[in-house]
C-alpha cells in the first residue's frame, strides 16, 4: 500500500474515521432508506387488490417476501466471488447499487406482475456483482490492530438505521399517493447514494479496494462473466415459463430455495476451510466463527417475521394509535429504526469509552441473541393477553421493537467486525457474504416455519422460537471467551 493510501486510512475527518468510511456510511444510509421503504409497503402491495396492488394471497405474499430475502443473499455468493477475483470492491459496489436503482424504477412504474418480476430480478442480480463488497471495503480501511474498527462498523450500522426510518414516510406516501409513488421515492434515494459515491470515488479512496484480492487471469475473467450472463438468461426464461404455465407454485419454489439456502453456507465454509489458500491459523478462526453465525441466523429468522407474518399481524390485530394518531401498518416498521439509532449511538459511545475493558465480540453476540429470543416470547405473550379478536395496544409493539433493537445493537455491527478479523485474507469478501448468508438462512428458516404457522397455534409457535433462540444465545455467551481467543480477537486491540 502506497503512502497516499496509508494517509487516507489514517484520516479522522469523519467521526474519528477516514473520509471514505463517511461515503460508505452515506451509501448505507441511502440504500437502507430505499430498501426499508420498499420492504415496508411491498407485502401490502403484493396482496392489495388490483389496480392498487397485485392481488396475491396473503400467504403467498408472505412467502414471496421471505423468498426475496433469501435469494438476495444467495446471489451474493456469486457476487463475492466476482468481487474478490474479478472486479474488486470498488467496481462491484458501483454495479450492484446501479442494478438496485433500476429495480426500484421498475417497481415505480405501473407494470403489474411482469414489472414486479423484473424489479425483483434486478434487486437479486445486483448482489451477484457485489456480494458484501461494501462491508469488505469498509474493513480495508483498518488493520487488525486498529482500535477504531468496531466503532466504524457500529457507526455505519447507526447511520444505515437512520435510513431505516423510511417506513413512516413510505407508508404515508403509499396511503396518500399510491404504492408506485412510494417506490419512486426509493429510486431517488438509491440514485443519490450512487452519485455521492461517484463524486468521492478517487479523492476519498485512492487505490483502496480498487483491485480484486485474488484476481483471476484476464481470459478466465471474461469467460466467467459470459457464462454467468448465459446462466442468468436461461434461469429467467425457465422460471418465467414454469410460473406462467402453473407448473411451479410460489409455495413449492419458496420451500426448495429455502432448503438449499440452509445447505449452501455450510458447503461454502467447508470449501474455504479446505482451500490451500487458507492458512492453518485461519482455519481455527473459521471454526470459531460458526457459533456466532448460528446466533445471527436465528436472530434474522425473527427479523424476517417482522416483515412477513408480523406485518400482517400489525394490520389486522394491532390498535395502531400512538399519541392519539393512527399509524399506517407499514409505518410501524419505522419504530425499530428509531430505537436502532438511539441504542446504536449509545453502544458506540460505551464501546469507545470501555476500550480494552469492553466485552469480547462473541460475548456481545450471545447477549444480543438472548434479547432477540425475548422479543419472540413477547409476541407469544400478546396472544395470551389479547385472545381472539381483541386488539393489541401499539405500545406493546414499541416494547417488542425496543428489545429487538437492543439485541440487534449487540449483534449486527459486531458480527461484521469479528468476521473482518476472522476471515482468511484470500476470502475477505466471500467470508463477509457467508456471514450475511446468516440472513438468508434465517429467512429460509422463517419460510419453512411459515408452513407450520396456523391460526390458533400462535402461542406455541412463538414460544418455541423464543426459547430456542435464547438457548443458542446463552451457549455462545458461556463459551464466548474461548471463541474470541480462537478468532484472534485480542482485547488489547479492540475499541
Domains of the chain, CATH where assigned: 3-214+246-493 (1.20.1250.20)
Q: Is the dihedral of CA 136, 140, 144, 149 positive or negative?
A: negative
pLDDT at 488: 79
The C-alpha torsion from 110 through 334 and 153 to 297, rounded to 10°, is -80
pLDDT at 68: 80
pLDDT at 495: 35
Residue 55 contacts residue 113 (beta carbons within 8 Å): no
**31 is written with which cell numbers?**
440504500
Q: Please give the Cα distance from 144 to 428 (Å, whole number).
A: 13
- What's the Cα-to-Cα distance from 93 to each of 22, 88, 216, 400, rounded to whole Å? 15, 9, 19, 34
Residue by residue, pLDDT tens for the chain (495 residues) are 678 888 888 888 888 888 988 899 899 888 888 988 888 889 889 988 877 888 888 777 877 877 787 777 678 778 878 888 888 889 999 999 999 999 999 999 999 888 998 999 899 888 888 777 888 888 888 876 676 777 788 787 777 777 766 777 888 888 889 999 999 999 999 999 999 999 998 889 888 888 887 888 888 888 888 888 898 888 888 888 887 787 877 777 777 777 777 788 888 889 999 998 898 888 999 999 999 999 988 888 887 776 666 777 777 888 888 788 787 777 777 788 788 878 888 887 888 788 778 888 899 999 999 999 999 899 889 888 988 888 888 889 889 989 999 998 898 878 888 888 888 888 877 787 788 777 777 777 777 777 776 777 788 888 999 999 999 999 999 999 999 888 877 654 443
How are beta strands 318-319 and 325-326 bridged, if at all?
A: unpaired
pLDDT at 9: 84
Residue 382: enclosing H or E segment and its boundaries? helix 361-385
pLDDT at 308: 65
pLDDT at 492: 43
Residue 246 three-state SS: coil
The DSSP code for 423 is S
Residue 330 contacts residue 185 (beta carbons within 8 Å): no
Residue 183 contacts residue 38 (beta carbons within 8 Å): yes
Residue 477: enclosing H or E segment and its boundaries? helix 458-478
Q: Please give the Cα distance from 106 to 180 (Å, whole number).
A: 9
- What's the Cα-to-Cα distance from 474 to each of 129, 304, 362, 405, rounded to whole Å? 37, 22, 11, 18
pLDDT at 403: 93
Contacts of 192 (CB under 8 A, 6+ apart): 30
Q: Please give the Cα distance from 8 to 476 (Å, whole number).
A: 37
Residue 414 contacts residue 364 (beta carbons within 8 Å): yes
- What's the Cα-to-Cα distance from 312 to each of 59, 308, 322, rounded to whole Å? 10, 7, 19
How many H-runs (helices) and E-runs (strands) does the chain carry? 20, 4
- Give the pTM: 0.67
pLDDT at 370: 96
Q: Please give the Cα distance from 301 to 469 (Å, whole number).
A: 9
pLDDT at 494: 41
Q: Please give the Cα distance from 437 to 431 (Å, whole number).
A: 10
Amino acid at each position: 500500500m502506497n503512502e497516499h493510501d496509508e494517509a487516507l486510512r489514517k484520516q479522522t475527518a469523519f467521526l474519528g474515521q477516514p473520509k471514505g468510511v463517511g461515503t460508505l456510511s452515506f451509501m448505507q444510509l441511502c440504500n437502507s432508506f430505499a430498501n426499508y421503504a420498499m420492504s415496508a409497503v411491498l407485502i401490502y402491495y403484493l396482496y392489495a387488490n388490483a389496480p392498487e396492488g397485485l392481488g396475491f394471497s396473503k400467504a403467498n405474499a408472505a412467502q414471496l417476501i421471505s423468498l426475496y430475502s433469501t435469494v438476495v443473499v444467495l446471489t451474493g455468493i456469486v457476487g463475492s466471488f466476482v468481487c474478490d477475483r474479478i472486479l474488486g470492491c470498488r467496481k462491484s459496489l458501483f454495479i450492484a447499487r446501479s442494478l438496485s436503482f433500476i429495480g426500484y424504477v421498475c417497481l415505480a412504474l405501473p407494470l403489474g406482475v411482469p414489472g414486479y418480476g423484473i424489479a425483483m430480478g434486478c434487486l437479486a442480480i445486483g448482489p451477484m456483482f457485489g456480494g458484501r463488497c461494501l462491508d469488505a471495503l469498509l474493513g480495508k480501511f483498518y488493520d487488525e490492530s486498529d482500535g477504531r474498527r468496531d466503532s466504524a462498523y457500529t457507526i455505519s450500522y447507526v447511520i444505515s438505521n437512520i435510513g431505516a426510518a423510511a417506513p413512516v414516510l413510505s407508508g404515508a406516501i403509499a396511503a396518500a399517493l399510491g404504492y408506485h409513488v412510494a417506490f419512486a421515492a426509493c429510486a431517488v434515494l438509491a440514485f443519490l447514494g450512487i452519485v455521492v459515491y461517484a463524486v468521492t470515488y478517487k479523492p476519498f479512496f485512492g487505490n483502496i479496494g480498487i483491485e480484486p484480492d485474488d484476481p483471476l487471469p484476464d481470459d478466465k475473467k471474461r469467460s466467467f462473466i459470459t457464462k454467468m450472463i448465459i446462466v442468468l438468461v436461461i434461469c429467467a426464461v425457465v422460471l418465467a415459463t414454469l410460473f406462467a404455465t402453473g407448473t411451479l407454485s410460489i409455495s413449492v419454489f419458496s420451500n426448495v430455495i429455502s432448503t438449499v439456502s440452509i445447505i449452501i453456507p455450510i458447503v461454502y465454509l467447508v470449501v474455504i476451510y479446505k482451500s490451500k489458500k487458507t492458512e492453518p491459523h485461519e482455519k481455527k478462526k473459521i471454526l470459531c466463527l460458526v457459533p456466532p453465525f448460528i446466533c445471527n441466523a436465528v436472530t434474522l429468522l425473527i427479523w424476517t417475521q417482522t416483515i412477513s407474518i408480523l406485518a400482517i399481524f400489525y394490520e389486522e390485530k394491532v390498535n395502531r394509535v400512538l399519541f392519539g394518531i393512527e399509524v399506517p401498518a407499514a409505518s410501524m416498521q419505522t419504530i425499530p429504526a428509531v430505537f436502532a439509532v438511539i441504542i446504536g449511538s449509545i453502544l458506540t459511545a460505551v464501546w469507545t469509552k470501555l476500550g480494552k475493558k469492553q466485552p469480547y465480540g462473541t460475548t456481545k453476540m450471545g447477549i444480543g441473541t438472548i434479547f432477540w429470543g425475548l422479543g419472540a416470547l413477547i409476541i407469544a405473550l400478546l396472544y395470551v393477553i389479547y385472545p381472539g379478536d381483541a386488539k393489541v395496544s401499539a405500545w406493546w409493539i414499541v416494547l417488542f421493537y425496543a428489545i429487538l433493537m437492543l439485541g440487534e445493537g449487540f449483534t449486527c455491527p459486531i458480527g461484521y467486525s469479528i468476521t473482518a478479523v476472522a476471515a482468511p485474507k484470500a476470502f475477505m469478501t466471500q467470508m463477509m457474504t457467508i456471514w450475511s448468508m446468516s440472513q438468508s438462512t434465517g429467512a429460509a428458516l422463517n419460510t419453512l416455519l411459515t408452513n407450520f404457522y396456523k391460526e390458533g397455534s400462535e402461542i406455541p409457535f412463538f414460544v418455541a422460537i423464543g426459547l430456542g433462540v435464547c438457548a443458542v444465545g446463552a451457549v455462545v455467551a458461556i463459551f464466548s471467551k474461548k471463541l474470541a481467543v480462537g478468532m484472534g480477537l485480542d482485547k488489547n486491540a479492540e475499541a
